[in-house]
């Protein structure tokens, strides 16, 4: 089956929670979650997964459940669902995400940074509303990838797309290296879930 998502690399974490940055694994992140990629079982592939790290891609995958680190049941291994692949097609590489809520407060994400650019009373039509204090801090590339997957999911959803900004709606713009996608999002459970996701995941 073909799925769209992003290839990420994560450092290995041992049993006692220690991060071993010299070791790691590749994962496929898509709208329903993420899967470990069991490279040793990927046969007759058209591309090396390492060449697609942090790229937005289509991947033809098979889903399995079992040992991650070996095929020998007598050897200790991590166990869970995983995928193998035989084909990868690059779509593009996301480099920036802008999310505006109905009051025009802006949440801006790049692969290594989050910026909160709030509305000031001078900018607001009422002359009274303030979005609070600006914020800026570092995020990881994996943080950015997770946010991209959620943003892309709703910005391409025609069922909640509208033509113009209205009270309580949102706006998302995703900039890629070679293209962009943007749209107004109607007030909906999907938009509310995305906003909650951002607050719970990265915005404090």
Residue-wise pLDDT for 145-168, tens only, equals 999 999 999 999 999 999 888 778
Q: For residues 116-128, give the mean pLDDT.
A: 67
Q: Which residues contact 138 (CB under 8 A, 6 or more apart)?
A: 112, 113, 114
> Would you state the pLDDT for residue 42?
96
Q: What's the Rg (C-alpha) of the chain?
A: 20
Residue-wise pLDDT for 3-16, tens only, equals 999 999 998 877 77
> Would you state the pLDDT for residue 154?
94
> Would you state the pLDDT for residue 191?
93
Rounded Cα–Cα distance for residues 140 and 120 (Å): 29
Residue-wise pLDDT for 15-63, tens only, equals 777 777 778 999 999 998 999 999 999 999 999 999 999 999 999 999 9
pTM of the entire structure? 0.85
Q: For residues 107-115, give the mean pLDDT.
A: 96
Instruction: Give the start-to-end residue ranges of the domains of the chain.
Output: 2-91, 94-201
Length of the chain: 204
With a cut of 80, say whether residue 203 has pLDDT above it. Answer: no
Give the residues across from 188 on adjacent strands: none
Phi-psi region of 131 (alpha: psi -120 to 50; beta: other; left: phi over 0): alpha
> Would you state the pLDDT for residue 157?
94
Q: Give 3-state DSSP helix, strand, coil % of the chain, rounded to 5.
A: 20, 45, 35
Q: For residues 184-194, give the mean pLDDT.
A: 93
């Amino acid at each position: 089956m073909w799925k769209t998502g992003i290839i990420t690399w994560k450092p290995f974490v041992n049993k006692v929670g220690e991060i071993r940055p010299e070791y790691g694994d590749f994962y496929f992140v898509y709208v329903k979650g993420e899967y470990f990629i069991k490279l040793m079982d990927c046969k007759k592939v058209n591309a090396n997964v390492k060449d697609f790290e942090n790229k937005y891609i289509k991947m033809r995958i098979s889903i399995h459940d079992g040992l991650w680190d070996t095929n020998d049941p007598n050897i200790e291994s991590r166990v869970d669902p995983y995928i193998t692949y035989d084909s990868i097609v690059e779509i593009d590489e996301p480099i920036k995400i802008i999310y505006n809520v109905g009051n025009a407060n802006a949440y801006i994400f790049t692969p290594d940074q989050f910026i909160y650019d709030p509305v000031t009373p001078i900018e607001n039509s009422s002359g009274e509303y303030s979005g609070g204090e600006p914020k800026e801090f570092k995020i990881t590339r994996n943080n950015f990838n997770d946010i991209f997957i959620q943003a892309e999911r709703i910005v391409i959803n025609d069922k909640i797309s509208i033509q113009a900004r209205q009270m309580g709606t949102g706006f998302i713009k995703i900039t890629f290296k070679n293209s962009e996608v943007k749209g107004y999002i109607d007030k909906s459970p999907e938009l509310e879930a995305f906003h909650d996701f951002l607050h719970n995941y990265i915005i404090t």
